[in-house]
A and B are shown apart, each in its own frame.
Chain A
């Protein structure tokens, strides 16, 4: 059975946070016309409290490389890149796969920004369409997947795939770390099984340490989403302003400043929270504009943590 059928049967979806069908992406990249093609493994992993890609690279590098090679072979790519978080290292010999160290903020992990970075240009997102599978790196069809996705492909190819997924669990927990669990596990079960379910009143941030949604204990009976992280906060002991200030600073300094709502909006959010002087009318306006008129998905995702925290915890 060929690989694409196997991926389809496994129902694999991208593990970077976007959950796009891997088989469909691969087929698009294969069908696309282009003199050259490229494969990129996104190992930029830039959000706070998300470390699962690092864990996979440190422990299962061979499978990641194998997955990249299968992809390269499948679309007949000229070369493959690993776009690597600047604090991560790969010291093993990985053949002709090129390591490109990320040298930019959070935005540097967005897929079109990655192409700009590798091409030596200013790191900011491109307009979509065209999508990377039509016109990506150097204007050529490009297949970009997350580290974990390539790992899964390797497992699928070897017949070892057991529908597991990696979760970063951290914050006010006893056993923080990266865990490989069932992909459809609920947040509640993940906390229980890893002996991390708090005994105090808490809230969780799920799906990313900055852009993740705030969830209350009674909301945890659903699968983990986004980049697969769960961060636990002691409800009583956590300074909510401090927490929001951390996110706001992360977005304000990590974005690319290309479009008005994200450049100016993220800054104003940071300013208001830092000064502990929030004008909720202004804040709502900015959130509205971010969600509806930002250039890329990063900008669109900024309001979620703030809005969910303010709504649920205030």
Chain B
């Protein structure tokens, strides 16, 4: 244990902690714009400066570790002056588009501008003519808002992609895209950008238009229920399923369904496929495919393992397909008149819905994807008081999720749901302890050995795309991969900020729903049983709504 003083207050800390972290933990405010706890400190914004007794000059507290006996001062007239100048310089390269910005009222830059009483227009805008660049149908990078902290570049490298990189252009080293690489649309650049330079490509206007004249059905992902509240200043991890439903209804949606229910279909299909592959020993390990960034990554960067991906579609695509076949038939609605909107924690889903091979009877299963943030904007735009709105119930038939379907939003959730089902299907016995705790949590790689009957199955969960290269694929039979750290609860479409503390709270809430649920197995879901009885009772229907194919791209 280290003892030190910050502003003459004695505090204790662990070896290896930064001054900034210790200060924050003790309620001492130090401005820090470029610091993100997922990444190595950039020490580029030069705002978190402090002075240390007995040492010359100033130190960035994000990158200076505490030492025993240190006496740190976090504020002084000189420090104030430096922060002021550096803030003015930061604003000189940032085109303010506050009304549209992802950060809006949560913007650190803007609140510091007030705290330090700076003139944000002291210098002319050097990035006036800087352009926007779109990454597929998912992400837009407005380089005129970029403050060059390079968090996005570090994160993109950490994801194992390196699509974002730094190049010298017109006398500056700038964030640019590497034309020899392809983006996988995970959106982690968005959640790690302190200045709102990255955003999803908005589908709000299209959804608004559809709401005016079409039969619009909303469906939302498991991970939305424990994060959307943050858009309305509710505490991290607030479970707000009922408010979500009533707010969406107020927007004019005819039906609101829960994708967790179709996650159970994914689990059953994927479980069957795993059992089949285990029996014939082919194409192992089997990989999950719910994460479209992971699928895209495999197709582009690891085409040799395309055959190892499960052929099962992701839950919202399955549900979209069921809506436009099973449901439309039952309700006697022409599926062509139905617009399905998925609310997703994800920017990559905007790309996934455009994959042609997913069409069911010539129609796209899902028409539009809104991120959690976009739905938040849309709800605010319609003056709906989310926080205080009366809760409403989901619509039948996709209204009763199992715990297994809800935990899909967490890293390890797909694995855990599948293991529960595969165990009972293979052994015919009831699973005594259904919590597979080894596959939970925020570590980059988690593994477990599961004894199912006379079989030992080795499984791994890869949490964060870049970690895929840290494991020996041959050691496992089944591997879950989620591109975003934390899984979908930490997705690129989720409310910002995101860090491990916030991920934990969002994840805990999903586990809480699971543990409180009376049905916690995908194959025990009455809804799922009914759908298999009424519609998914033949290979043709199962194939067209639940399975797909992939296309290795030869680089």
Point out residues on A near B: beta carbons under 8 Å.
Answer: 105, 122, 124, 127, 252-253, 256-261, 263-265, 267-268, 282, 285-286, 288-289, 292-295
Contacts and interface: CB of A to CB of B under 8 A. Distances in A.
A260 B123 contact: no
Contacts of B173: 122, 124, 256-258
19 contacts: A258-B42, A258-B150, A259-B43, A260-B90, A261-B85, A264-B89, A264-B123, A267-B172, A268-B89, A285-B81, A286-B85, A286-B89, A288-B81, A289-B85, A292-B58, A293-B46, A293-B49, A293-B82, A293-B86
A295 B46 CA distance: 8
B44 A267 contact: no
B140 interface: no
Contacts of A295: 43-44, 46
B93 interface: yes
B171 A252 contact: yes
Interface in B82-104: 82, 85-86, 88-90, 92-93
Contacts of A294: 46
B250 interface: no
Given A257-B173, A268-B123, A288 B85 contact: yes
A285 B92 CA distance: 14
Contacts of A293: 46, 49, 58, 82, 86
B63 A261 contact: no
B45 interface: yes
B86 A289 contact: yes
A143 to B, nearest CB: 25
Given A292-B58, A292-B78, A293-B82, A264 B43 contact: no
Interface in B55-98: 57-58, 63, 78, 81-82, 85-86, 88-90, 92-93
Interface in B6-52: 41-46, 49
B512 interface: no
Contacts of A256: 173
Contact of B90 (A253, A264, A282, A292): A264
Nearest to B42: A258
A223 B174 CA distance: 41
B172 A263 contact: yes
Interface string B94-134: 00000000000000000000000000001100100000000
A258 B45 CA distance: 9
A253 B86 CA distance: 20
Most buried by A among B58, B85, B150: B85
Contacts of A259: 43-44, 46
A127 B43 CA distance: 8
Contacts of B57: 292
Nearest to B89: A264
B63 A127 contact: yes
Interface string B248-264: 00000000000000000
